[in-house]
Amino acid sequence: MKQVTLPPITISRVDYDRLAWIAAAGVNSRRYTVAEMLADELDRAAIAAPGAIRPDIVTMHSEVEYQDEVTGDVRRATLVYPGEEDLDAGRISVLTPVGVALIGLSEGQSMEWQGPTGGRRKVTVRRVRFQPARMAGLSA
């Protein structure tokens, strides 16, 4: 089995607090596997004040351009909380495998994981087009 090296990630304190609650609640729901993935990411994240988050880091409500390294597709999406998702509008929930993979990554970083059917998945952040954490002093 291939050993995957996980990239360092940074999450704002505001995002961390809300995401930790979501992950804990999700472990008791039908989204157990994804909530567990999110909890694992939070456990290894560096936590920073919202104003200290670099503009090239994916935070909640960031608009990000990323590449699916398996298909080669380049996509643009806004990372949102559960209940705010809208695939037609390009809003993906952090409580999806792709959402969990993107949170905390910076431009140029990749995240690889095993999909639900056992296949390899990998995304690379190409560009953070908009990131509200630094602008507002917190992730709204």
Over residues 22-75, the pLDDT tens digits come to 998 876 665 568 899 999 999 999 999 988 999 999 999 999 999 999 999 999
Rounded to an integer, the average pLDDT of 7-36 is 86
Entry pTM: 0.89
Nearest alpha-carbon partner for 134 in 26, 52, 46: 52
Look at strands 46-48 and 10-12 and give their pairing: parallel
Residue 47, beta-bridge partner list: 11
Question: Would the pLDDT of 140 be above 50?
Answer: no
Nearest alpha-carbon partner for 81 in 101, 66, 59: 59
Which two structure tokens, joined as six digits, stand for 11? 């999450």
- The domain locations on the chain are 10-133
CATH class of the domain comprising 10-133? alpha beta
Provide, rounded to the nearest whole percent, the portion of the chain with pLDDT above 70.
Answer: 88
Alpha helices in 28-131 (DSSP H): 32-44, 97-102
